[in-house]
Amino acid sequence: GGAGLFAYSTQAYGLDDVRAKVKEVQSDNSADGALSQAAGAYLSAREQMDEWVRHYADPSSELLLPDLPPHLQGTVRTLVLDLDDLLVHSDWARSRGWRVFKRPGVEDFLKQMSQYYEIVIYTSQLSTYAEPIIDRLDKERYVSYRLYRDATQYTGGEHVRDLSKLNRDPKLVLFLGADPKAYALQPENALPVKPYKMEDGDTALLDMMPLLEAIVRQQAPDIRRVVAAYRDCEDIPGAFRERTKAAQQRLKEHNKRRSSFLSRRGAAPQHD
């Protein structure tokens, strides 16, 4: 019937898209009355279904990570990493089926960053899929915690990472991801990284390391301010290099002026 036809034609859409299409159908005076009623019935059923799914897809806990030891609270920064297209890329070919490819430098990245951050991998994948992959990526156990689909927030048809439930100070949490939908709930805490699609010579992950190290070395009080400073940059590592170079040049000129001033003072005649 009409409901079945409407459901079939909208099954690939998110709930917001379905609402828009139903509104379009119901506001079309030329539309068949039965179709309009079917669209309304489908929307009601879809909203109930999404509510049911959301009930079972909310994060498994309000506090996804255990408390930090008292002496580390307020000092340790947490680096949260997505999995797909950030650390690995899954690819299918008829000749071999599905295979997972590691991003170049991922082991070195985890090793180096573990010296500066508490590392958490937070993925929308099921643990049965993701855990063996992370085991191969992180043989030395540089990753402190692993969070899977059951720890995500289901919203708008997506399993979104909810950083507010990490049990960490949001000022000290940074998320890296290749898909903006993954961090849609807290974009102010996230820096985007170019998705890995098996390109030769990919260095995007390694290129982020100087900035990530600087955040900790300089004891940035609020990581969200750093994110805001790079919000409009297409090439974040490149922008960081340019800003660092400019800052070093300013410091050099300041020291030169200071040295010249002190030299002039030293050469000034002394009066009794």
- Residues annotated as catalytic are 82, 84
Q: Are 231 and 180 in contact (CB under 8 A)?
A: no
Residue entry with tokens 């992959």: 133
Nearest to 176, CA basis, from 141, 215, 227: 227
Q: Which of 205, 158, 161, 202 lies closest to 185, judged by CA? A: 161
Q: Do residues 206 and 109 lie in contact, with contact meaning Cβ atoms separated by under 8 Å?
A: yes
Dihedral angle computed from the Cα positions of residues 190, 194, 196 and 199, in that order, rounded to the nearest 10 degrees: -160
| 254's tokens | 């300041």
Q: How far apart are CA 118 and CA 149, in angstroms?
A: 20
